[in-house]
Amino acid sequence: MSDNQTRVIVGTAVAVGTLTVAGLAYLYNSKKAEESIPTKWKKVGKIIDLNCFPVKSCAPIKCDSFDCHLLGIEYESLFDRCFVISQGKKQTTARAYPKMVLIQPTVVDNELHLSAPDMPDFVLNLDELRTGSINGKVECWYSKVKGIDAGDDIANWLSEFIVGKPGKLRLLYYPYAYPTKGVSKNDREWKAYRGDDAGTYHDKTSYMLINQASIDELNAHLDHVVKPLQFRPNLVIKGPGAYDEDNWKWIKVGESVVYRVLKPCTRCIFTNINPETGVRHPKREPLETLVKNRSIIPNQTPVMGTQIGIRVTGRISVGDDVYINDESEA
């Protein structure tokens, strides 16, 4: 069976009891760590910002409300990190090319529009893209993830802006309705983290949350102010104390959307890139300060924010109340 056939019939196959190997693995991973969702909650704050990053390492699309699905936040039929830029067989990110954060995606009438400084806008037809063959593969942090190559024209546009030469980079689109990346060996110690939390082309999990108070506490140690966007969160919350999120297990947003806290979010040199200028900080900040103050996991890079996986899907909005499980629940 081809990848294209699998993509089309996986839902039907589940319904009639005839699963592909990929479907069996997916269902196994989704069930192996099932836990009871809490019934008692306590309010800790509110959502103050939401971000969807349809193209990995590029600028976000901001909106007051987003639908939240298994693959991540959705905006106009595109999921968070559903596009990845590759060089050869490996993903290319702003860790190597900081100016990638200046590429701004928008979605208009089922077209992906990309804009960048000193470049003409590029328009990609999403309907045509989705009918293409699954013909690409990219290494995404220990996993090889398949996709649909978006073609030469957008590849050359990205190559021209990012590296200054056409033909160096490619753009892949994630075609599946479920995660395929799996949990890397390095993360299997986190018992709540399961295969269907891996998202599309995400580094780790399909959702990441930042607490504004934690950013404020970090800024108290810096000679310049960093904003939450420097850490590329999907959800930004206000209300809890600094680093309270380190100890959470469950999060509910609004009346119904529920997330499981999976692991602290470890950090790298990406945090040193100013999202407004695409320039690294000359003194490697804030990462250097995080190394001193937030290296809380043995043999791991420092931590800021928390990686979460969705357990009850739905819609979330800026201004929604945020709850955590009440530890007094029996």
Positive or negative CA dihedral for 152, 154, 157, 162?
negative
Confidence of residue 141 (pLDDT cuts 50, 70, 90): confident
Residue with tokens 């420092």: 302
pTM: 0.88
Is there a domain that residue 27 lies in? no
* Mean local confidence (pLDDT), 291-296: 95
Report which of residues 299 and 2 the model is more confident about: 299
Is there a domain that residue 29 lies in? no
**pLDDT score of 321 more than 70:** yes
Structurally, the chain folds into a number of domains equal to 1
Is there a domain that residue 22 lies in? no
Q: What residues have CB less than 8 Å from 35, skipping those under 6 apart?
A: 192, 260
Is there a domain that residue 26 lies in? no
Which pLDDT does position 328 carry in this prediction? 66
Structure tokens at 291: 């190394």
Is there a domain that residue 186 lies in? yes
CA distances from 263 to 57, 188, 189, 207, 247 (A): 21, 10, 10, 11, 10
Which pLDDT does position 248 carry in this prediction? 97
How does pLDDT run across 171-192, given as a tens digit for each residue?
999 999 999 998 888 888 889 9
CATH number for the domain harbouring residue 247: 2.40.33.20
Is there a domain that residue 21 lies in? no
Domain that holds residue 172: 35-325
Residue with tokens 């269902």: 27
Confidence of residue 329 (pLDDT cuts 50, 70, 90): low
Is there a domain that residue 284 lies in? yes
**pLDDT score of 284 more than 90:** yes
Residue 78, burial from CB neighbour count under 10 angstroms (0-12, 13-18, 19+): buried
Query: Considering only 11-15, 20-24, 124-128, 203-207, which range has the smallest mean pLDDT?
Result: 11-15
How does pLDDT run across 83-93, given as a tens digit for each residue?
999 999 999 99
